[in-house]
A and B are shown apart, each in its own frame.
Chain A
């Protein structure tokens, strides 16, 4: 699978969980692995690239960290959108 296709899949997975469940990195990796059977390291690499460019972001609440889709405010603050 192409990297961009995998990243779209990851994004859709996170979008489906939005407001329902705080996803950890592991949840996403295991979830995509179960859906597509792709190698976990490959999923991890794709996920981290998305975080590096701000397509996904780390969040923190109640003592635990999670991964989620960034808000417009966050993207603006990071200079990724105007």
Chain B
């Protein structure tokens, strides 16, 4: 096996942190593809050029996603990375694996690929890095025979992903694991057969802590919330104060809606003004607790910058019950796709289409009534808009008033 001199990437091994270079070098000792990937990376650093190309026609028969073609322009110099395709494996909900499952994945991967993995990629999938075109069908056959499936890629529904939810967290407001699994099963076709204008991501968080960062990374963010008040245990509040917490600075002063007050004895919350951001609850876990009906807020539209700049998701449904069989959520997803499909040009994410067509058109399309919680920011323009239906209703009212002489207000 060729030994590469790697002074530049060796710098990335220094310091007390884990290093991907160290891990790549470990794989390089027993795998030619990983070895060439190390040499290739050093060359990229040295010349300040990324030699990777991606896309094209790679995949498994019948599937339109799950494999991302990667090729190096330096195939002659580094034959191990001439073809270096990425395979996405649909991760289990909440990223829970047994060690036996991880061994199974790695054993198959060692057999057909570079042995390098990315657990997990930003999509949420378990990503296998580097294999050749001719190995793809065999990889798929081995994984699928053991119950694994490929994830989404291209203009498709990307593999739904969620936080650990009720598996490990007491704050979750709905079963993120079950919803993620249910949506993955329901929309198999949309994951494996790309039919959209561009990608569509659904991420689920059990509360506003948003451990999967769905608000910034998902076209559709399903974030747990509750309807009741925050229950306050004043004895525990006193304990926090006694143990040195500056409640006014750390809790009251950090409340985004300023709905809390603390007089040195009691913590009071004006629940009507609370936005359920979870800040106070996560800081005073023993003293504060959500109560009442649980469900989720659905936000839409976040994305990284490509066609227009990056966007954060904003609220379209302030509260929705999230219970099996999740019919309401599934129906909403379908309506959203329908509107998007009708209005999007290729490579336009839903957030961009809403920016261009307007929230009004979107809400009409998905059959949601406009409500105050959907307001993203105070309006900047003074114009009012009426639809043809509004005008017809107004004219009919006017005609009736004229006819009867009675005015309706």
Whether chains A and B associate is yes
Q: Footprint of B on A, CB under 8 Å? A: 22, 24-26, 48, 51-52, 54, 57-65, 70-71, 74, 77-79
B347-A63 in contact (CB<8A): yes
- What DSSP secondary structure best describes chain A's contact surface? mixed
Closest to A79 in B: B137
| CB-defined A-B contacts under 8 Å, sample of 6 | A24-B346, A25-B193, A54-B61, A57-B57, A58-B194, A62-B347
Roughly how many angstroms separate A64 CA and B59 CA in the complex, as a whole number? 15
Q: Which of B156-174 contact A (CB under 8 A)?
A: 156
A64-B155 in contact (CB<8A): yes
Is B314 on the interface with A (CB-CB < 8 A)? Answer: no
B64 partner, pick from A22, A58, A77, beta carbons under 8 A: A58
Q: Footprint of A on B, CB under 8 Å? A: 55-57, 59, 61-65, 68-69, 133-134, 137, 153-156, 193-195, 197-199, 306, 341, 346-347
Closest to B60 in A: A78
Roughly how many angstroms separate A79 CA and B199 CA in the complex, as a whole number? 30
Q: A60-B69, A65-B156 are in contact. Are A52 and B193 (CB under 8 A)?
A: no
Residues of B within 8 A of A59 (CB): 56-57
- What DSSP secondary structure best describes chain B's contact surface? loop
Q: A63-B347, A77-B134, A78-B137 are in contact. Are A48 and B193 (CB under 8 A)?
A: yes
Q: A24-B346, A78-B61 are in contact. Are A60 and B193 (CB under 8 A)?
A: no
Residues of A within 8 A of B155 (CB): 24, 63-65
Q: Which 10 A-B pairs have the closest CB atoms?
A: A58-B64, A65-B194, A65-B154, A65-B155, A25-B195, A52-B62, A61-B55, A60-B154, A64-B155, A59-B57
Q: A25-B194, A26-B341, A58-B154 are in contact. Are A65 and B64 (CB under 8 A)?
A: yes
A64-B341 in contact (CB<8A): no
Q: A71-B57, A78-B137 are in contact. Are A63 and B306 (CB under 8 A)?
A: yes
Closest to A54 in B: B61
B57-A64 in contact (CB<8A): no
Residues of B within 8 A of A64 (CB): 154-155, 197-198, 346-347
Minimum CB–CB distance for A80 against chain B, Å: 8
Roughly how many angstroms separate A26 CA and B345 CA in the complex, as a whole number? 12
Minimum CB–CB distance for B88 against chain A, Å: 13
B55-A26 in contact (CB<8A): no
Closest to A49 in B: B62
Q: A61-B55, A62-B55 are in contact. Are A24 and B62 (CB under 8 A)?
A: no
Residues of B within 8 A of A60 (CB): 55-57, 59, 64, 68-69, 153-154, 194
Residues of B within 8 A of A48 (CB): 193
Residues of B within 8 A of A70 (CB): 57
Residues of A within 8 A of B195 (CB): 24-26
Closest to B156 in A: A65
